[in-house]
Amino acid sequence: MSDPEATKPTLTTRQGHPVHNNQQQRTVGPRGPATLENYHFLEKISHFDRERIPERVVHARGFVAHGEFEAYGTIGDEPAATYTRAKLFQSKGKKTPVSVRFSTVIGGRDSSEATRDPRGFAVKFRTDDGNWDLVGNNLPVFFIRDAIKFPDVIHSLKPDPVTFRQEPNRIFDFMSNTPESMHMLSWLFSPRGIPANYRTQDGFGVNTYRMVNAAGEGVLVKYHWKSQQGIESLTEEQAAVIQGQDLGHASKDLYEAIERGEYPKWELNVQIMSDDEHPELDFDPLDDTKTWPEDVFSLRPVGVMTLNRNVTDHHNENEQIAFGTGVLVDGLDFSDDKMLVGRTFSYSDTQRYRVGSNYLQLPVNAPREDVPVSTNQSGGQMSYGVDNRGGNPHINFEPSSVAGLGQADESYREYRPYVSGQIMRAPIERQNDYAQAGERFRTMPQWERDDLVKNLVNLLGQCDKHIQEKMIWHLGQCDESYGRRVAEGLGLSVSA
């Protein structure tokens, strides 16, 4: 048998120097003291001291897998080109590599994956035109509809700044003063709030986006990922058992399924609406606390995603991967959704802090290798290589009569919505905070409704009476029996 020691590559420092002794520091005699010129030891320890980067302020715990998206070439029954010129959707069978990060929201990077919490469902499409990120969740709506409230909703859900415990009283203090959260709470406290694992859940873009076709015409769009593994959820009791044994059961489930060759799949569907205010609806199409009724705005399949490759390094591909709602490609656009614009600022802002100003040079975040990156951006911490500057390394500006980069084709038809109006701080007109929450309650099977009421009663039972009363009032507005059942569970009357 060959000696494995003989075939191992030689251990080196990051300077490329061979390491002859990795067991002992350099010391004066065998008992020390240690010397400071011990480069190998200092490099090893000081790199270890810096092994972590700041964890994400939300969605800190997550797990990445890679795979591909295969387009149908159609959006429902029509050619994809009817609605979008985005290349990745145009032809049947066109494949685009993807990286997906599933996550929980509130806990830290080593926290339990069996908690009641939305799950992040972020997809990076590595398209011919550069990257497109679809940064979604497993629930179709959100707690708030204006980005200015995001730090508040997250602070209420995160641990108390003094006791460092997640406190129901803080959560429901905020929610009871935020009626638009009732729809999201009705999803979150139902069984859907604890997916059994990352494979058996759907995904939703949540915010409203636009698709733009070659003629420069836009439509409003919502994205849905439909799990081909079905939907499975956990009750509190089941989750408690799993969590008692393993904090990372969902990452393990995904990793092992891919290792076994059981590749999970999701079908991407879109709902489409003409790009206007839709006064006939009792909600605003740009309000992310609302779903679009599927009987009116049908789900139209556009392709299927398969995850078939695990990461080779959790830090490089999970901690450093950076998604953002501003990362769009030609043919896919923003809408005026007031959450979306705030999200678009926030993601790249936090990533410049969390990963560093050159985070887009990292292989996991850079566009595909065959997609040129030609910029005049240079320098900054950890600058890794220089982008294509058009052949003359002296010209890092534009315009230049000597060399350098030129602008892309000017015939490019940017979507140009017409906007006029008074600048103000004002809520949207059609808020309708309760109707869809009530509808959701009524369409749940009886056991899910019972579970929802039980879960709310459990947490509200730990809240101050005035907060309980406010929540019961809101839930009663959603559906009389919803409010009454939670009130009964708390031993309060509905008129409270």
Nearer to ligand HEM, 112 or 318 (CB): 318
Phi and psi at residue 214, to the nearest 5°: -65, -25
Helical residues (DSSP H) of 189-311, grouped into ranges? 236-245, 249-260
Nearer to ligand HEM, 59 or 449 (CB): 59
Does the annotation count 137 as an active-site position?
Answer: yes
Name the residue whose CB lies closest to ligand HEM.
Answer: 120
29 is written with which tokens?
């005699």
- Work out whether 323 is an interface residue with ligand HEM (CB under 6 A): yes
Among 70-78, 307-315, 338-346, 485-493, the segment contacting ligand HEM (CB under 6 A): 338-346
Q: Which of 61, 85, 101, 224 binds ligand HEM (CB under 6 A)?
A: 101
Cα separation of the two ends of the chain: 80
Does the annotation count 59 as an active-site position?
Answer: yes
Instruction: Name the catalytic one among 137, 138, 269, 365.
Output: 137
Query: Which residues make Cβ contacts (< 8 Å) with residue 234, sequence separation at least 6?
Result: 114, 191, 194, 195, 196, 242
23 is written with which tokens?
């067991």
Binding-site residue total for ligand HEM (CB under 6 A)? 27
CA 243 from chain centre, in angstroms, equals: 23
Q: DSSP label at 267?
A: E
Closest separation in Å from C-beta 354 to ligand HEM: 5
Q: Where are the beta strands (DSSP E) in 239-313?
A: 265-274, 300-310
Rounded Cα gap, residues 61 and 229, in angstroms: 23
- Work out whether 178 is an interface residue with ligand HEM (CB under 6 A): no
Nearer to ligand HEM, 173 or 288 (CB): 288
- Work out whether 342 is an interface residue with ligand HEM (CB under 6 A): yes
Write the interaction track for ligand HEM spanning residues 47-86; mark x where CB under 6 A is met and - where it is not: ---------xxxx--x------------------------
Query: Which residues make Cβ contacts (< 8 Å) with residue 450, sequence separation at least 6?
Result: none
Closest separation in Å from C-beta 384 to ligand HEM: 19
Please state whether the peptide bond connecting residue 30 to the residue before it is cis, i.e. omega within 30 degrees of 0: no
Helices (H) and strands (E) in the chain, counts: 13, 12
Q: Which of 171, 339, 456, 486 binds ligand HEM (CB under 6 A)?
A: 339
Among 339-347, 392-400, 432-440, 465-473, the segment contacting ligand HEM (CB under 6 A): 339-347
Rounded Cα gap, residues 62 and 256, in angstroms: 15
Write the interaction track for ligand HEM spanning residues 128-167; mark x where CB under 6 A is met and - where it is not: -------xxx----x----x--x-----------------
Nearer to ligand HEM, 339 or 475 (CB): 339
Among 11-19, 87-95, 249-257, 341-349, the segment contacting ligand HEM (CB under 6 A): 341-349
Rounded Cα gap, residues 119 and 105, in angstroms: 6
Q: How many CB atoms lie within 10 A of CB 145?
A: 24
Nearer to ligand HEM, 74 or 207 (CB): 207
Beta bridge partners of 134: 123
Rounded Cα gap, residues 462 and 167, in angstroms: 8
Nearer to ligand HEM, 60 or 472 (CB): 60
Closest separation in Å from C-beta 293 to ligand HEM: 19
Query: Which residues make Cβ contacts (< 8 Å) with residue 319, sequence separation at least 6?
Result: 53, 55, 109
- Work out whether 125 is an interface residue with ligand HEM (CB under 6 A): no
Q: Beta strands 209-212 and 78-79: pairing type?
A: unpaired
Question: Which residues here bind ligand HEM, judged by CB under 6 A?
Answer: 56-59, 62, 101, 103, 120, 122, 135-137, 142, 147, 150, 206, 288, 322-323, 339, 342-343, 346-347, 350-351, 354
Active site residues: 59, 137
